[in-house]
Amino acid sequence: MQINPNITPNILADLQQSQSMLNSALQQVATGRSVSVPSDNPAASAAMVQNTIETGNVDQYTKNISTVLASVESASSVLSTVVTALTQAVSLGTEGANGTTNASDLKAIATQMQGILSTVVSQANASVAGGYLFGGTGTSTPYTEDTSSPTGYTYNGNTDATSVVVGDTLSVQVNLPGSQIFSDPSNNVLGSLSSLVTALQSGDTSGIETATSSITSAIAFIGERQAFYGNAENQLNSQDTFLQQETVSLASQATNLVGVDEATAATNLSQAETDNSAALAATAKVLPNTLLNYLSNPS
């Protein structure tokens, strides 16, 4: 059998292959990715869909946390201020209930109490970034003065709670409506403060005592509400930490799936370059080689 005399198709195929290896090595170095289209690695491409969506979600969960954490922290500090005010109110009430206090002193205490009441009301109307902390999801000022109400104030907010999605299966309730903190039927903080003011103004000692004791129990009640916010804050913070780890592991998963190790890519590229030059050099040597080169011209 004669040897295949026509090596051109072989040479062309080899050159094409070495060129395409060079191209793909170059692309990997240039893009830093080993998978550009799904056919490069179908399984990795499918896994990357999941990875992209999860990464997007984790980013959004993190944003959600930072959005609501501010309001949860404010709410928590507002409640601390309220507890301080209430403690002050209890001591004023105790002072007023003391039978030795005279009428003018009681009036002075009543004025002080009125100040505390306004402080608590203004705290209950606190807002962060345009939204009321204790108005449910309503957009109107939570508490306004209302002389017809026995407590002196009307709640204008709603009873809606906001739950924020901060994980694939985790959503955290981040607010309590004011009606469950400041005007709860079982422990009406604003009502107790108002009746203390009224009792002090009228010098009603037993009224002062009743109001003071209900404010004392309100301190414990507010403390429970504080625990709610503290708990939400803890949950959000620990979820934030988890999400940071998740971001890192998703990023490393993405690198494993479609990324390319720079050192390997660079080595591959230089290997492909060498192969390509070798193939070209060999072609240049082989192609012009025929018997005709060695025959002398016919005389």
Partner 1 sequence: MGGLNATLNIGVRALDAAQAALDATSNNIANVNTPGYTEEVAQLSEDPLTQSGGEITGGGVTMDGIQSVQDELLDLQIQQQTSSQSSANTESASLQQIQTYFTTTGTDIATALTTFSNSLDALSASPISTATQQSVLSAGQDLAQAFNTTANGLTSAQSSANGLVTTSVAQINELIQQIAQLNGQIEQLTNSGQNDSSTEDQLNASVQQLSGLTGISVTQSKSGDTIMTGNGTPLVMGDQSFTLQTTTGSDGFQQVLDSNGSNITSTLNGGQLGGAIQTRDQTIPGMLSQLNSLASQFSSSFNAAQTQGLDSNGNPGLNFFAVPTGSAEAAAGITVSISDPSLLAISSVGTGSSNNNVANLSAVLSQALPSNSVSSTGGNPSAPLATSTPLTNGSVTSIADASTGATFTFTAGASSTIASLQAAIASAVTAGTLSNGTGLSFNAAGHVVISTTTTGDTLQVSSSDTVLGQFNSTSGKTPANAYASLVFNIGNAASNASTQYTALGKSLLQLTNQQSSVSGVNIDDETANLIRFQTAYQAGARIVSTIQQLNTVALDMGSSQSY
| Interface residue list for partner 1 (CB under 8 A) | 1-6, 9-10, 13, 36-43, 45-50, 52-53, 55-57, 59-61, 63-64, 67-68, 136-137, 139, 158-165, 168-169, 171, 290-292, 295
d(CA 62, CA 165): 10
Please state the closest distance from residue 65 (CB atom) to partner 1, in A. Answer: 9
Please state the closest distance from residue 167 (CB atom) to partner 1, in A. Answer: 10
Please state the closest distance from residue 255 (CB atom) to partner 1, in A. Answer: 15
- C-beta of 202 vs 252, nearer to partner 1: 252
Count other C-beta atoms under 10 Å from residue 235's C-beta: 18
- C-beta of 13 vs 278, nearer to partner 1: 13
Please state the closest distance from residue 123 (CB atom) to partner 1, in A. Answer: 22
- C-beta of 102 vs 169, nearer to partner 1: 169
Please state the closest distance from residue 19 (CB atom) to partner 1, in A. Answer: 14
- C-beta of 57 vs 114, nearer to partner 1: 57
- C-beta of 23 vs 122, nearer to partner 1: 23
- Nearest by Cα to 93 from 219, 216, 212, 215: 212
d(CA 124, CA 133): 8
Which contacts qualify for 172-177: CB closer than 8 Å, 24 or more apart? 172/68, 172/232, 172/235, 172/236, 172/239, 173/232, 174/68, 174/71, 174/72, 174/232, 174/236, 175/71, 175/75, 175/133, 175/134, 175/136, 176/75, 176/134, 176/225, 176/228, 176/229, 177/134, 177/135, 177/136
